[in-house]
């Protein structure tokens, strides 16, 4: 866009008044602003003692979990949609014939490399049975790389740990049970 | 006892040096913590509050932080780049720190101790490493100018363009602001009639009128100039992190960097000392401390406390100012120095000189009371007039409005016309 374009509105800067030329308003404004903030309540969250508040757990993207159905079995049907959708290629599924009559396959092993994961939530979006979900657990630590590869048991245990605080989103959003 | 007598003044001086250097180094370390706290609070954060007593869980609001900071920076690798001038590179931090510490030889850090009754020691003992130094103020200013050499040497020896630019800016800025600093000081020296800093404090205590009230213009000039001398925001161009990486100490690491940083803090402490001693009455506070030279132990410590409190308050002001205003551009800095602060300093000096010259005649003709009122009112009138004149007459900014044409030829023609 050119400076002469008629849609450009030019605002004239006001000439400095006497007060501004004397530097006093700037002086007062600067000091009052800093002095006000000096005594105002602090925003810092003292982390290990104080937990940060997660705005909306439904849309927060923290550690993954594998949901269980009403009978306590893993909900996953090993369709590989999450592994396909994953841009970081961090999901590794080994499928095998289902033990149960209501589905064809189930995951023999299901592991997520939490160090490769970029927490984009694509797996959650892709899952047709709402088996994989991201919780609002935000502090994910480990002492080795191996420890950070979460297998099926660990992901299910994350579900057991968080199911009371965060019930499956699918139910409230009209998803599968 | 008698054999010791000739050495007693030396021993007393050594004790004072030990107290002063130890106190200053500790103060500098803790002022870094205070600075970080102020920075955090102004930004609505909590600041360092974790490190307490080592190896325990006691936190003490983070008072152990200076120890941790110091250990960390001492244990870092003291890396000397290959492209530097080794001798100057090593000398620069030593020069700057030695100069910043030696300044305190002439700066009183209290009033006087009551007589100790030890033969061979002067009574009463002053809180001053080099008592009776007749050129106290000159000593302070000479050494604070030598500290500039440390900055210059550091910037030059680094053989690095950021360091060099920092050193250049620093030299221009410090040379420009030495003059208003000296002018602000001259007014005080004229009024007190002495170059001794303790005599200047005594003069303020005796009259009860601090020079900040007697010479408001001189106070403002000195305050602005000492901000620039200490290279504190809004005049921190020598080390503007956003523009120059680190300025003159870009190439320094480890203990040498620590020396630079400590020296920088000492500059601020020196500036605070001078502001308080010369303009804010030193250890004097109406109704709390007397003005005589005969003191009790309690009185001596009250005076010491008053002086320390004032200095701490000025340092807090320095730190608050750091977050209150943006940095000056270099041309604005130079404009302020040569077109605003320098003329105001001269106006103040002339006013003070005139008043001091005609004070005896005024007292004789009008009596002490009215003469005192006139001697107070005239500097304030000059203060307001000078400030308004400075605001009206000096260019307060540069016109940055873009030229509104898409035709480059027109734009150039307009530029030429302007």
Which residue is associated with the tokens 């205003």?
B325
Nearest to B17 by CA among B6, B5, B9: B9
Nearest to B76 by CA among B68, B84, B88: B68
Q: Are the Cβ atoms of B41 and A42 closer than 8 angstroms?
A: yes
The closest CB to that of B396, out of A2, A10, A21, belongs to: A21
Global pTM reads: 0.80
pLDDT(B405) > 70: no
pLDDT(B92) > 80: yes
Nearest CA in chain B to A25: B325
Cβ-Cβ contacts under 8 Å for A39 (sequence gap 6 or more): B41
Q: Are the Cβ atoms of B404 and A37 closer than 8 angstroms?
A: no
The closest CB to that of B406, out of A3, A20, A22, belongs to: A3
Chain centroid, CA B383 distance in Å: 22
- What number of C-beta contacts closer than 8 Å exist between A and B? 61
Q: How far is B286 from chain A (nearest CA, A)?
A: 27
Fold of A64-172: Alpha-Beta Plaits (3.30.70)
Domain ranges of chain B: 16-75, 80-328
Residues of chain B found within 8 Å of residue A42, distances taken between Cβ atoms: 41, 44-46
Low-confidence stretches of chain A (pLDDT < 50) are none
Q: How far is A11 from chain B (nearest CA, A)?
A: 10
Cα–Cα dist B406/A2, whole Å: 6
How does pLDDT run across B143-164, given as a tens digit for each residue? 888 888 888 888 888 888 888 8
Q: What is the pLDDT of residue B368?
A: 77
How does pLDDT run across B272-290, given as a tens digit for each residue? 988 998 898 888 888 777 7
Q: Are A131 and A64 in contact (CB under 8 A)?
A: no
Residues of chain B found within 8 Å of residue A50, distances taken between Cβ atoms: none
pLDDT(B403) > 60: no
Nearest CA in chain B to A29: B324
Nearest CA in chain A to B44: A42
Percent of chain B with pLDDT over 70: 89
Q: What is the pLDDT of residue B112?
A: 73
Cα–Cα dist B230/B144, whole Å: 9
Q: How far is A141 from chain B (nearest CA, A)?
A: 21
Residues of chain A found within 8 Å of residue B405, distances taken between Cβ atoms: 3-4
The closest CB to that of B405, out of A4, A22, A33, belongs to: A4
pLDDT(B28) > 60: yes
The full 3-state SS of A41-83, as one line of letters, equals CCCCCCCCCCCCCCCCCCCCCCCEEECECCCCCECCCCCCHHH
Q: Are the Cβ atoms of B325 and A35 closer than 8 angstroms?
A: no
| Residues of B contacting chain A (CB within 8 angstroms) | 38, 40-46, 49, 320-321, 323-325, 387-388, 391-392, 396-397, 401-402, 404-406
Q: Are A106 and A71 in contact (CB under 8 A)?
A: no
Q: What is the pLDDT of residue B312?
A: 92
């Amino acid at each position: 866009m050119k400076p002469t374009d008629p849609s450009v509105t030019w605002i004239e800067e006001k000439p400095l008044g006497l007060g501004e030329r004397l530097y006093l308003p700037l002086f007062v404004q600067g000091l009052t602003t800093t002095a006000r903030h000096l005594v105002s309540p602090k925003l810092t969250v003292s982390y290990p003692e104080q937990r940060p508040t997660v705005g909306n757990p439904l849309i927060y993207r923290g550690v993954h979990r594998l949901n269980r159905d009403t009978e306590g079995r893993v909900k996953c049907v090993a369709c590989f949609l999450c592994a396909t959708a994953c841009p970081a290629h961090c999901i590794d599924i080994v499928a095998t014939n289902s033990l149960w009559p209501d589905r064809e396959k189930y995951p023999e092993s299901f592991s997520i490399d939490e160090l490769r994961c970029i927490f984009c939530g694509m797996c959650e979006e892709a899952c047709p049975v709402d088996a994989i979900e991201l919780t609002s657990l935000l502090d994910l630590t480990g002492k080795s790389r191996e420890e950070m590869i979460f297998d099926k048991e660990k992901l299910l245990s994350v579900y057991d740990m968080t199911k009371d605080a965060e019930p499956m989103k699918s139910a409230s959003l009209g998803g599968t049970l | 006892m008698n054999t010791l007598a000739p050495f007693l003044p030396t021993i007393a001086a050594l004790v004072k040096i030990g107290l002063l250097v130890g106190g200053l180094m500790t103060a500098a370390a803790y002022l870094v913590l205070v600075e970080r706290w102020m920075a955090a609070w102004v930004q609505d954060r909590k600041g360092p509050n974790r490190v307490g007593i080592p190896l325990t869980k006691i936190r003490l609001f983070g008072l152990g932080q200076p120890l941790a900071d110091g250990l960390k920076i001492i244990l870092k690798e003291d890396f000397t780049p290959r492209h530097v001038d080794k001798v100057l590179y090593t000398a620069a931090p030593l020069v700057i720190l030695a100069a910043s510490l030696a300044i305190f030889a002439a700066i009183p850090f209290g009033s006087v101790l009551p007589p100790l009754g030890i033969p061979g020691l002067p009574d009463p003992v002053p809180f001053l490493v080099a008592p009776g130094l007749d050129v106290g103020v000159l000593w302070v200013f000479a050494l604070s100018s030598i500290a500039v050499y440390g900055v210059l040497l550091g910037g030059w020896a680094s053989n690095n363009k950021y360091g060099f630019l920092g050193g250049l800016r620093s030299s221009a800025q410090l040379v420009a602001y030495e003059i208003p600093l000296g002018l602000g000081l001259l007014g005080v020296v004229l009024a007190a009639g002495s170059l001794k800093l303790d005599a200047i404090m005594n003069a303020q205590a005796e009259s009860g009128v601090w020079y900040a009230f007697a010479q408001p213009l001189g106070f403002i000039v000195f305050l602005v100039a000492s901000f620039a001398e200490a290279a504190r925001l809004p005049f921190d161009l020598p080390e503007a992190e956003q523009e120059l990486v680190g300025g003159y100490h870009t190439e320094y690491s480890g203990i040498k960097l620590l020396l630079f940083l400590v020296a920088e803090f000492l500059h601020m402490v020196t500036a605070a000392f001078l502001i308080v001693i010369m303009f804010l009455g030193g250890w004097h506070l109406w109704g709390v401390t007397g003005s005589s030279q005969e003191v009790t132990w309690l009185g001596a410590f009250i005076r010491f406390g008053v002086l320390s409190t004032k200095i701490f308050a000025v340092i807090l002001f320095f730190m608050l100012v750091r977050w209150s205003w943006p940095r000056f551009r270099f041309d604005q800095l130079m404009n302020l120095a040569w077109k605003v602060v320098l003329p105001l300093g001269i106006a103040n000096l002339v006013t003070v000189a005139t008043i001091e010259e005609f004070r005896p005649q005024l007292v004789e003709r009008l009596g002490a009371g009215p003469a005192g009122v006139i001697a107070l009112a005239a500097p304030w009138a000059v203060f307001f007039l000078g400030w308004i004149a400075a605001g009206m007459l000096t260019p307060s900014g540069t016109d940055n409005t873009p030229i509104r044409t898409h035709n480059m030829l027109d734009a150039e023609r307009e530029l030429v016309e302007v």
